[in-house]
Structures are given as structure tokens and as C-alpha cells.
Structure 1
Amino acid sequence: MITEQNTAKNRPFSKEYENKIFTGQEYLNSLDDGREIWFNGERITNIAEHKAFRNSARSIARFYDAMHDERYQDDLLLVDKNGIVTHKFFAPSYTPRELDEARKAIEVSQRINYGWMGRTPEYKAAFMAHLQDNAGFYQKEFQQNAINWYKKTAEKCLFLNHVLVDPPVDRSKDRVNVKNVFVSVDKEDDKGIYVSGAKMVATGSVLTHGTFVGLTGNITSMMEKDRDEDMAVIFFADMNTPGLKMICRPSYEHDANSAYDAPLSSRYDENDSVIIMDHAFIPWENVLVYRDIDRCKQFYKESGFFNRYNLQAAVRLAIKLEFCIGLFSEGTKASGTAQFRGVQAGTGELIGIKNTLWSLTTSMVNDVVSCGTGVVPNAEVAAALRLYMSNCWDRVREIFESVLGGAPVYTISSNKDLLNVELRPYIEQYYVGTGLEATDRIKLFKLIWDSMYSEFAGRHSLYERNYSGSQDLQRLDLLRQAMASKSLDKCTAMVQKCMDDYDINGWTNTWLT
């Protein structure tokens, strides 16, 4: 049992320690480092000013500026055991109370963008925070790498993405037979390793400082010794690594007509990329695991990442749900249906989903286990929360679609219709809402459209269902955990105890005979 009697090694934020975390402008400047990004057939330069990425970059910059704003610093920051000022989720937690404070810091950070950006900097901090305290998990020659990466990430609150999944091709084959596509080591020398291959899907990677290249449990379960060692690697790559290329999907921000027409997709589009490494050089100081299949298989269980990222994800989704509850409530008011019994039931169900998420995060910060010298949420609770999160968003969309009906499509083609003097009087007469002028009703429902029905919304739905692994894997992980912890045995033992009360001749227990 982990209690508050554990000696906490973090200290409250104090201005006596230098705050070296990026400011928003420093973050934007840091993206101009020569990285290779491809979009619409062109290699992109000056990312922070490009039409496809400008607004999303500035949305991330607000995360950094908040850590220099005195109104938020006590909630967001601490001083770690190295004397580094950092975000509370970028440092390990040593007690349930500290983990709860980290949860609060995630909440403050996520409210900046209303929960609509899933891979903000604190997401990958779920892994980075325990690199120093859990360095003993890694091969001896790479343990100092883990410590160094923790320190430099904590000091600046570096924004990292990760790529764990192989491209969707020939997955029925042994990975060694798809080495021409999947990431594999080409060679090594005294300076580092050279790797080639592709990984998917690097969410928000064009806006990050580096990528963590790893493997999912699904992949490692199929790896074999004396066959797959060239592919048993875990490492970091700076985004400007020579030979590392990012090929972007279409940009919703780029294609947005206006802020009025696309208020979310025009600023919160986390562009997903395929990362291709073409004989990319990875220095030894960026390597955590090399040609070690056993450690690759144990990574998810031992690194603390699985336990912690589900906490960040749940807080983010709960805030996103709060936003959507507000949208739903305003949408039904505008349609004049807010007092209908069935509509109110829909609002209540959305509130119930949101409250369930918050309650599960409370369980996560109190039901903890050790990770290195720190604590992380219990993996069984994290796995249960993961399953709930990946399925609840479909229900949220279903409620919107069922209750609001055709109201979201009762709209205009773009803000330019409102600027047309011939058309404007008709819009003002016929597009009004209950208690709303036409411009305000249209503005509200365009926001609803962008959150639930647009291409941006479709990508969000795909993300919520799949970012945490396949549906089968989520359920199988829960089963394996129950078998390992013997909780499944308790269930079957209870059934056996019940059946022991009787046989073909009647009751065998004493209290019914």
C-alpha cells in the first residue's frame, strides 16, 4: 500500500528556482530547425507561419505561456528533486497526493483548448516523467540516456510525439519478412545506429521536438529471439534528424473557410503524419533499448507509460465532454426542445458519462502502484478506463445525432452568405433560433457541426476509438491482468462456492438443512 507516509521528493513551485520552460514564442521559434515535412507535394518551411499548421502551433504555444502566467503557476508547476522547475505531470509523483496534483495540472492545461487537442505536450510526459526514477529497467549502457532525457525534457517541457504502430500492410506475416517497410536497424558504428522503415500515425508530429519510436504489446508478442533482434529497438529521434521525413495527411486547418465556419478545425487540427526513416542516424545517447526482445516485451508493463497516459487521456476527454454538454444544452435551447423529457434525458446521460470519467480518474490517483521510486495508477484501473473511453464517444455522437436531428444542417454555406446584402434579410428572418438572432444561431450550430459532423469531427471519432489500441487488445489486456492478479480466480471461486451449497440430492450446506 502506497500512502502519504512515503517521502515526497518534489517541492512546491518557487521563483527562487529558474523557470527554463519554453515561452510560447520560444516554442514557436524552436520549430524552425530544418525538419523535413511534406504537405501537398511541397517541402514545408517556417511551420509556425504555414497555413496548414499556424493556428494549431499557436494553440500549443498557449500551453507554454500558461506556465509563465502567475495565475496558473502554483497549479501547474513544481520543483523536482534535481531542482528543475517543470510541469507537475512532467515529473514523477511519489505519493497519491502528488499524483492528484498532477491530475489538476493536466486539467488546467487541457482547459486552455477545451480538451480538443489529444496529444498536447503533457501526453508523452506520461512516459518521460519516470525515465530517471525507473532508469534501472533499461539496459545498463543506456540507463544514463534515460536520466538525461528525463532532465532535458523536464527542463523545457519538450513536446514529444510517439510512433508505436507498424503500417497496415502484411501484418499476418512475421515482422522480419516485412523489413522493407517496418522499422529495422541497418547498421551500427561507434557513434550510433542507422535505421530505416515507416511508422504510423505520428499525431501532431510536425509541431513536436522529437519522436519516441517504440513498439506496441501486439507487435512485441509476435517477436522471437534469434530472429527479430534488428527490429527490437526503442529510441528517440529529434524531428530534424537527417533521413527522417514526415508526410502529412490533409489539413483541416488549411481547408477551413473561416473561424466562423470552422471554429475548431481551424485551430485545433493535430495533423497526423506517417514518419519515414531512410537510413536515419540515431546517436547512442538517444537509444533506450537495443536488440533486446525481452525488454521490448516488458516495456508497456514496466515503463509506467500505460498507467499514466490513461490518466491524461481521461482528464482531457472529461473536459471535452464538459464542452460538448454545454454545446448540447445550448443547441436544444436554440431549437426550443430543451424542456422535452427525452431531450433532458440525453443531457443527463452526457453528464453521467462525464461524471464517470472524473470518478475513474479519482480512483486512478488513489489506487496506485510503484514504478521505480515513484507511484503510478493501478494498471487494472487504467485498462478499465481505457476501454470505457474508447467506446463512450460513439454514444456521445449518437445522442447529438438523435436529439438534434436535422438542426445542424439548417445552416448557410459560409460566412460570406451573411455578408451578401441581398441575401442577409432572408437569413435574418428564417434562420433565427429560439431566443437567438440568425447570426448567433448559425454560429452556434457551426460550432456543433465542427465538433460532431465535420471531417475534423470524424477524425476525432476515429481517434477516440483507436488511439489506445485495437478493441480486441483492450479487452484481452483486461483479461490478462485479471488472470495475473488472480481476480479472475476470485470470480470463479465464488461460483464454485455457490455450487458447493447443493447437489443432486438437495442442499449440502448446514444453514438450509
Structure 2
Amino acid sequence: MSLTTGAEYLQRLQDGRRVWLEGETVADVTAHEGLRASAREIAALYDLQHDPLHRDALTVEQHGERHGRAYMKPGSAGQLVARREGFEVWARASLGMLGRSPDYMATCLTAFAANQTFFSARENKGFAENLARYHEDARRRDLCLSHTFAGPRTDKSKTVSGQGAGLATALRIVGETDSGPVVRGMRSLATLAPLSDELLVFGAGRPLQAGEEDHSISFAIPVHTPGLQLICREPFTRQGRVDHPLASRFDEMDCVAVFEDLVVPWERVFVYRDIELDRNFKVATHFNEHVGQQVLARRVVKTELVLATVSAVVESTGLSKADEPRRRLGEIVTGLDLTRACLRAAEADAFPADSGMWTPATQPMLAGLRVSKDVYAAAIGTLRDLSASGLFMTPTSADLEGPLAEVISQYYRGATADGKERTRVYRLAWDLVGEAFGSRQLLFEKYFLGDPARSYAAAWDRYDKGRLGALLEDALAGGPTADEPTRGRS
């Protein structure tokens, strides 16, 4: 088995999984109005792997079979660049709007599985071998994976085991059977889980303390496993490709995963009752560096879409030569250049990690992740400001096709576009700025890899402060006094 097709992917989702949406269970996630559009978009990505134009960018041949490139461990700097080029193909196909396209978790799992030395510490060797076998199986079956790395947010001031005011809400081990451990509790932020083949559970979401070993478990299970329920947020899907060109296609669902005495097969357990592994797996496996390459490649495309929309809005108002709109457009371009520069610097300074897997350089990658989310947010702000009231004074597709079509064509025209074309541009702008879909996209990017404040604080904590001390000493020491000869002066 290898390289799934879109049809095969959609068929796999019809497996009796328990998905709750707006108070009801979903009989078929591929047919539900709030889920089917994004399911079809994921299916289209899988089909691109079979397209001769994109096959070599998205896949790699090994032992007579082709596999998704994101599932392959980069063995050189060149292979790392080739992986990013594959990321770009899927990002362009989805306009950068699918933050959890299958290549994201494939990259994550590959980074984990490559680090056998780390996961084999202490009593975890057998579970580390499970991880390697699972990675090979996921690669062979070309699975679409989701993950949940976050715990409940009941009380942020308390430890993981102290959540819920006496009610045990965080996922934990509650027993063992011959088949495997029994888990109960919840995990959040399972984005795309209703449309994934399997769910990867890693880490407790917050650092575990001594005595919290029951909360230390990492594993993977099929989404249809008995004992797992997914509770979806409100769908942001809107109907109509003209009225909602993005929200009609790319609303990837976010969920809470509830585990009710679910038995995890022993062969699918990767970390078990090991607090140190639970705390340190992201740093040890260079998680942020690897998935960050996919994130930055996607964010470039996504931000370019916003730039294209801003440009079209400015053109339609006849202000493309005015200083202020050009300045605002130039700010977006500068942010894009910075994002690309961080991505390329991370690739140029890539290194072979202890696992043998070539890894993007840490500092430029983390800088790119911090900067690019702010670049996207600023670009959305520019689109809002320059579109102004035009954002909500825009006709619908029904208006464009109705009795007032000629009136709209006349009175809604812009400086460079007729009423129909200008309407389509502003409908796209509204999807990005005004709809719940656009608001979710902005929030998603801001908190993609955790609390932004902690990310910036961590950047300061990691900085080489010895360099600053030496520089400060030089400044405070002052230069030569007036009666001292300048070095080299006769």
C-alpha cells in the first residue's frame, strides 16, 4: 500500500466515528454540510500526488514504492529543500488556508520516529520501537493524521492533575488491561480530527510534576476507536463560491477529544509514565524546526493571498499610485521578504541532528515563526483599513444574477473593474476580514504554536547575554580621552 487517492481517503472516513456537531452526531463526515467541503479539499490534495506535474515534488520512490515526501526523513540539505518545495505545492493548492493539511502531521511524526535515542530512555525502549513501527505503517498507508497536544483550560493557575476543581478532566491513565492501558479525560485543539484517519496524542500540554505520572502517556488511535468522541465547534462553512470563496472550501474543523475508558493497544503506546520524556519531546525532536518549515511555506502563500486581495481593492478604488496605500502594501511585502529570508536561512544553516535527520537551523526558524504570525495579522489589518465600509456594502451573488444585475454593474463598478468583478474581490476580502472563518484563521495563526508572549519571552531567555555584557562594557568604558593618543595616529 502507498499513496492514497482522494476517493480512498474519503472512503476511509466513513467508519462509524463518533463526531458531535451542534448537538447531534454526524452520520457521515464526508456528507455533512459543515465538514464535506474541507474533506473534498483534503481529497484533492491527495490526488495531486498522482498528478505527473506534482508527483516528484510531493512523493519519493523507495524500494519500488512511492511515499509522501513529508513521511521521509531528510538525509541531506538538498532533501530538506525538496521537502519544502513539496509543502509549497499543497499550500498553493489550498491557498495556505489548511493549517493541518496531511503533510504537517506527517512531518511531525517523522521527526518523532527518527529520534529513537531520545524515546528509548530509561524504561521506554519498547514504546520507542512502537513509535518507529507506527511511523512506517502511517507512511505505508499514507494516513491523514490529527493531533492533540493541549489539555483542559479549566484553571491555568493549577497543575495538570489539579484541573477541574476536584473533577478529573485532564486525560490520564485510569487502569491497565492485558490489551493496553485504559485512559479517561479530555484533550483540546484537535484540529481536523473529524476528517483524519487517526489521532496522535502527545504530551500533557503543560509540564508535569512529580506524582503526575498517570498523565504521562502518548499514543495513536484510529478516530473510530470505541471510547473516543469528538465535540466540534460551530462550523464556519458558508455556502457559495462567489459569496464565500474561502469559507465555502477551507473550514478545517477544531474539536475537543473526549476519552471515556478507552483502551489503547500496547503496540500503539509511545511514552508511558515518563515525565521527563513528556516534558522534553518537542525540543529533543526539533519539533518546531521541522513543522516550522511547513508552517512558513504555507504562511507565505496565505499572506500573499491577502496581499493580492489588498492590491485588487486598492486598484478598484483608483488609489494604486497614492503614497499611503503603496506604503501599506510595501509593509506586507517587507513582512513576506522577512518570512522567506528566515525560511531560507534555516535551510541554508541546516544541520544533521543526532538522529541523522537533517534539521532546519533553530534560531532563524523560530524567528520566522514569531515574525510571520505578526506579518499575517498586520496584512489582515491593512486589508480591513483599505477596504473600509466597502467590506459590508457589497452585493451577493443573488444580486449579481437577479433583476438588478445591470444596476449593480453600473453603480458598483470601481476605477478599474466592473461591478461584478469588484463585488467578487470584496466578497473575498470579507471572507478574510469579516466572517467567522477569517477571524478563526487570524486566531489560529496567532496561537499556532502556543502563547505568543511565552514565545517571545523564550527568545530572550535563549539569547546569548554574555555578548550583551561585553558590548555594554565597551560602551561604558568610553573611548580614548583628549590627552590620550589615538591608536595609529602619529
Q: Same fold (TM over 0.5)?
A: yes
Match of 2:265 in 1: 283
Matched, 1:511 2:487: yes
TM-score by length of 2: 0.93
Counterpart amino acid of residue 410 in structure 2: Q
Q: Structure 1 384/281 Cα, relative in aligned 2: closer, same or farther at 3 Å?
A: same
Matched, 1:74 2:62: no
Whether the 8 Å contact between 2:380 and 2:432 is mirrored in structure 1 is no
The 5 A counterparts of 1:18-417 are: 20-80=2-62, 84-138=65-119, 139-178=124-163, 180-215=168-203, 219-220=206-207, 223-225=208-210, 227-253=211-237, 256-369=238-351, 370-412=353-395, 414-417=396-399
SS at match of 2:206: helix
Matched, 1:489 2:466: yes
Q: List per-residue Cα deviations over 1:141-176 (Å, max 9, x = no partner).
A: 112211111112222331111111122211211222
Q: Structure 1 30/494 Cα, relative in aligned 2: closer, same or farther at 3 Å?
A: same
Which 4+ runs in 1 deviate beyond 3 A? Answer: 497-503, 505-513
Separation of aligned partners in 2, 1:86 and 1:265: 31
Separation of aligned partners in 2, 1:66 and 1:202: 25
Give the alignment's Cα RMSD to 1 decimal.
Answer: 2.1
Counterpart amino acid of residue 219 in structure 1: R
Whether the 8 Å contact between 1:24 and 1:62 is mirrored in structure 2 is yes
TM-score by length of 1: 0.89
- 1:424: Cα distance to partner? 3.0
Counterpart amino acid of residue 245 in structure 1: Q
Q: Structure 1 506/309 Cα, relative in aligned 2: closer, same or farther at 3 Å?
A: farther
SS at match of 1:176: coil
Whether the 8 Å contact between 1:302 and 1:371 is mirrored in structure 2 is no
- 1:271: Cα distance to partner? 1.0
Separation of aligned partners in 2, 1:180 and 1:338: 58
Whether the 8 Å contact between 1:383 and 1:477 is mirrored in structure 2 is no
Count how many residue pairs are aligned between Structure 1 and Structure 2: 481
Q: List per-residue Cα deviations over 1:107-134 (Å, max 9, x = no partner).
A: 0111111111111001112211234432
Q: Structure 1 508/194 Cα, relative in aligned 2: closer, same or farther at 3 Å?
A: farther
Q: Structure 1 84/184 Cα, relative in aligned 2: closer, same or farther at 3 Å?
A: farther
Counterpart amino acid of residue 141 in structure 1: G
With 25-34 and 434-443 compared, the bigger mean Cα shift is at 434-443
With 285-294 and 140-149 compared, the bigger mean Cα shift is at 140-149
Separation of aligned partners in 2, 1:70 and 1:89: 18
- 1:83: Cα distance to partner? 5.9
- 1:371: Cα distance to partner? 4.4
Whether the 8 Å contact between 1:37 and 1:246 is mirrored in structure 2 is yes
Q: List per-residue Cα deviations over 1:458-493 (Å, max 9, x = no partner).
A: 0111111112110222023223333xxxx2222222
Specify every segment of 5 or more residues in structure 2 that has no aligned partner in the other structure, as ranges. Answer: none
Separation of aligned partners in 1, 2:484 and 2:261: 72
Q: Structure 1 31/508 Cα, relative in aligned 2: closer, same or farther at 3 Å?
A: farther
- 1:190: Cα distance to partner? 2.1
Identity across aligned pairs (percent)? Answer: 25
Separation of aligned partners in 2, 1:289 and 1:509: 67
- 1:322: Cα distance to partner? 1.6
Q: Structure 1 506/150 Cα, relative in aligned 2: closer, same or farther at 3 Å?
A: farther
Match of 2:443 in 1: 462
SS at match of 2:80: helix
Whether the 8 Å contact between 2:306 and 2:380 is mirrored in structure 1 is no
Q: Structure 1 261/302 Cα, relative in aligned 2: closer, same or farther at 3 Å?
A: same
Whether the 8 Å contact between 2:335 and 2:372 is mirrored in structure 1 is no
Separation of aligned partners in 2, 1:347 and 1:437: 23
SS at match of 1:405: helix
Counterpart amino acid of residue 184 in structure 1: R
SS at match of 1:186: strand
Whether the 8 Å contact between 1:184 and 1:231 is mirrored in structure 2 is yes
Whether the 8 Å contact between 2:128 and 2:271 is mirrored in structure 1 is no
- 1:22: Cα distance to partner? 0.7
Whether the 8 Å contact between 1:130 and 1:371 is mirrored in structure 2 is no
- 1:506: Cα distance to partner? 8.6
SS at match of 2:174: strand
Whether the 8 Å contact between 2:16 and 2:27 is mirrored in structure 1 is yes
Separation of aligned partners in 2, 1:511 and 1:238: 73
